[in-house]
Amino acid sequence: MLSHISLLLVVVPLISAPVVAILPRGRLPWAVAFIVAASCAVLAGVQLWAVLHEGTISYELGGWAPPWGIEYRIDAVNAFVALIVATIAAITLPYALLSAEREIPEDKIPLFYSAMLLCLTGLLGITQTGDIFNVFVFLEISSLASYALISLGRQRQAFTAAYQYLIMGTIGATFYLIGVGLIYSQTGTLNMQDLATILPDVLHLNTVETGFAFIIVGIALKLAMFPLHLWLPNAYTYAPSVVTVFLAATATKVAVYVLLRILFTVFPQGFAVTTPADELFIVAGIAGIITASVSAIYQENIKRLLAYSSVAQVGYMVLGIGFASATGLTAALVHLFNHALMKGALFMAVGAIVYRVGACRMEQIHGLGRAMPWTFGAIVIGGLSLIGVPGTAGFISKWYLVVAALEQQAWISVAVILSGSLLAVVYVGKMIEALYFKPVADAGKAVSEAPILLLLPTWALVLANVYFGLDTDLTVGVAEKAAAILVGVQP
Amino acid sequence: MMDFIIGHYNYWIVIVLMMVGLYTVISRGNLIKKIIGLNIFQVSVFFLYISLGTVEGGAAPIIAEGVKVYSNPLPHVLILTAIVVGVATTALALALVVRIKESYSTIEEDEIHNLDHSL
């Protein structure tokens, strides 16, 4: 039974998606989706436990031995990412019930949950599989589902945002596909482990280098690495609140995971350093942190502000990957986890405001902090975590990132990481100023606190931000193990 | 030199189609034309994979008596999957264009941009 968990994580949401789609309207589709997401979270937890205690799991799909069949290969890296994705899904779905009823047309509700489950299938599939073509298939499953989810937004801009994302996302995925084809033409295999043994002999070939470049650019588009992030602000701004929560906390994280796998498992250790990719990551990371943080300061829409902040946070992860050291990767993985917590909490709080006020432009939320103290509290703590104040999860990731930068005496990177935090103070301050210190715009309209069903998931993530800022055993411990696997040294 | 150009004619087709497709996506403002460009771009990748799988003088990979050399079926199967993905993407993109046309009454990118910013 235990060995089947890796497959169940993909098959359970996949099979329940069409079932949810044909369920009658009402709350039944939500209930089924929630049960599925919750059981995925439990399975992912068991899987991580099994991997940490019993070592790598290898699951042969349909009994076909790798490298001929598709292999699901689970080590600490992907078990960790799978747990993040499944847990965020399980926390997002209780939140979805009310938020989706408010923001999505009633007749679309079953299809909405069906698309959510398909998106979850794709994201979990990417984390589970050990086959680079299979990654493409799951990437497209999750992407297609997320295009549909984004287009459910209430404003018509949602359609153009989804269209824009579709064009960019498809180009990215096709680039990845070209890269896989070129590498297959020189190695004759698609299995990651098999590639890792064959690739060192053919690395000098132009075809392999070209394939590597195509794959990196393709994934960079998917993870919204600066300057390929242009689809992200619109997509996050116009998507329904709950979709923004889910995508912001999971989709880019999974793309970061794929990048790590390609760079460190599929291609041999140290190959990226011989190509321009390594410097590119550092430059793109630095440029992303600065420009996206500055853009965030000038946004008048809270969701868009947080979206730009997401681009900046991806910059931190890319920077950590660019260092290519065990500490750098630990920082990237810890930040991957922590950023899912903080952006999940912040977007949920913003979703609660949208639920009550129906808008999230700065001038429309003036003074709401007093009327919605719990939502406001969530934004404050989430914001502090985003800045990296000690005692919050954000501090831990910034700390490891600075340590990694100091290790390599990359002084510019250290300065950028710290000034990125200062810029975060400005844009978080801007939200807090609008919510608390500005006089209420429309005094006649009484706004009450968000319903408890929205507050509970939000505060679950907020408290997680504080908890993982104090107790780092789980996050840093697992991330260190995962980073050690990636750079190929035993912990 | 001539041998190099003629001998790799399928790859030249791939490169030309790829560039034509990408250029169309980037340069056209009409949303349908962008999708057409995207399709051309994807088709070029299908050609690339099919070319990779072909073995000179190889027969279709169906076991038959007297046939020694077969083409590699794996890239062909892979691209079958990618074709399905491409069809799904195109369908979704067209559906989005329909909804864009309904709410903006235009499918020209610059006009949509103006409509959104004149509000």
Mean pLDDT computed over A380-385: 90
Q: Do B45 and A174 touch (CB under 8 A)?
A: yes
Are B41 and A157 an interchain contact pair (Cβ–Cβ within 8 Å)? no
Read off the DSSP letter of residue A131. B
Give contacts of B82 with chain A, Cβ < 8 Å.
136, 177
The pLDDT tens digits of the residues spanning A22-36 come to: 888 888 888 999 999
CA atoms within a 13 Å half-sphere pointing along the CA-CB vector of A401: 35
Q: What is the mean pLDDT of residues A420-446?
A: 81
The closest CB to that of A156, out of B34, B93, B104, belongs to: B104
Residue A342 Cα, gap to closest chain B Cα (Å): 31
Is the pLDDT at A272 greater than 80? The verdict is no
Task: Determine whether the interchain pair B92/A148 forms a contact, defined as Cβ–Cβ distance below 8 Å.
Answer: yes
Residue A316's Cβ-side half-sphere holds a number of Cα atoms within 13 Å equal to: 37
B59–chain A Cβ distance below 8 A for any pair: no
Distances (CA, A) of B62 to A44, B53, B59: 41, 14, 8
Check pLDDT > 90 for residue A390: no
Q: In angstroms, rounded to a whole number, what is the distance separating the alpha carbons of residues A177 and A132?
A: 9
Query: What is the average pLDDT across A401-424?
Result: 88
pLDDT-above-70 percentage for chain B: 98
B26 beta partners: none
Peptide bond connecting B75 to the previous residue in cis, omega within 30 degrees of 0: no
The ipTM assigned to this model is 0.93
B106 touches chain A (CB under 8 A): no
pLDDT of the residue at A441: 66
What proportion of chain B, given as a percentage, has pLDDT over 90?
48
Q: Using the predicted structure, report yes or no on whether residue A175 has a pLDDT greater than 90.
A: yes
Question: Is A264 within 8 Å of A489 (Cβ atoms)?
Answer: no
Place of tokens 């992907």: A78
Ordered by where they begin, the domains of chain B are: 2-117 (1.10.287.3510)
Mean pLDDT of A343-351: 90
Element spanning A73, H or E? strand A71-74
Burial of A28 (0-12, 13-18, 19+ CB in 10 A): middle
Average pLDDT, chain B: 88
pLDDT exceeds 90 at position A178: yes
Does the structure show a pLDDT above 60 at B41? Answer: yes
Q: Which residues pair with B70 in a beta bridge?
A: B59
Report residue A359 as tokens.
């808008």
What angle (nearest 5°) sits at the alpha carbon of residue A260, between those of residues A258 and A261? 65
What number is the average pLDDT over the span A64-80?
A: 84
Q: Which of A225-234, A277-286, A294-303, A470-479 has the lowest mean pLDDT?
A: A470-479
pLDDT digit string (tens) for B56-72?
Answer: 888 888 888 888 888 88
Percent of chain A with pLDDT over 70: 98
Q: Report residue A143's pLDDT band, with 50, 70 and 90 as the boundaries.
A: very high
The mean pLDDT of A415-430, rounded to a whole number, is 89
Residue A429 φ then ψ, to 5°:
-60, -35
Angle between helix axes A393-407 and A326-357 (nearest 10 degrees) is: 150
Contact A156 B81 (CB under 8 A): no
A437 burial class (0-12, 13-18, 19+ CB within 10 angstroms)?
exposed
Mean pLDDT of A260-265: 87
Q: Kindly give, in sequence order, each residue whose CB lies less than 8 Å from that of residue A206, ignoring residues fewer than 6 positions away.
A: none
> Residue holding tokens 């500005």?
A438
Please report where in the chains the tokens 């890319």 appear, as a residue: A318
Alpha helices in A358-451 (DSSP H): 368-371, 373-387, 393-407, 411-432
Q: What's the pLDDT at A117?
A: 93
3-state secondary structure of A372: coil
**Measured distance CA(B21)–CA(B43) in Å, rounded:** 9
Q: What is the pLDDT of residue A328?
A: 86
According to the model, what pLDDT value does residue A481 have? Answer: 83
pLDDT at B91 over 90: yes
Contact flag A178-B45 (C-beta cutoff 8 Å): yes
With beta carbons less than 8 A apart as the criterion, state whether A346 and A383 touch: yes
Nearest to A367 by CA among A450, A438, A300: A438
pLDDT surpasses 80 at B119:
no
pLDDT at A470 over 90: no
Whose CA is closest to A173, among A228, A243, A114, A235? Answer: A228
The shortest CB-CB distance from B38 to any of A156, A170, A181 is to: A170
**Looking at residue A139, what is its pLDDT?**
93
Residue-level pLDDT at A63: 79
On the question of pLDDT at A490 being above 50, the answer is: no
- Predicted TM-score of the model (pTM): 0.92
User: What DSSP letter does each residue of A44-66 carry, written as one string?
Assistant: HHHHHHHHHHH--EEEEGGGPPT
Would you give the DSSP letter of residue A263? I
DSSP state of B71: -
What band does A491 get if pLDDT is binned at 50, 70 and 90? very low
Total count of residues recorded for chain A? 491
The four Cα atoms A107, A247, A132, B48 give a dihedral, to 10 degrees, of: 70
Q: Is the pLDDT of residue A303 over 60?
A: yes
Q: Between residues A91 and A368, which one has the greater pLDDT?
A: A91
Interface mutation target, options B27, B92, B106, chain A, most CBs of A under 10 Å: B92
Average pLDDT estimate for B9-19: 91
The answer to whether the CB of A129 falls within 8 A of the CB of A138 is yes
Q: Give how far B66 is from chain A: nearest CA, Å.
A: 26
- The pLDDT mean for chain A works out to 87
Average pLDDT over residues A402-421: 87
Give the integer Cα–Cα distance in Å for A463 and A469.
10
Amino acid in the structure at residue B61: P
Q: Do B81 and A137 touch (CB under 8 A)?
A: yes
Say if B17 is an interface residue toward chain A (CB within 8 Å).
Answer: no
Q: What would the two tokens of residue A404 be?
A: 């990694």
Share of chain A above pLDDT 90, in %: 29
Average pLDDT on B12-41 reads 92
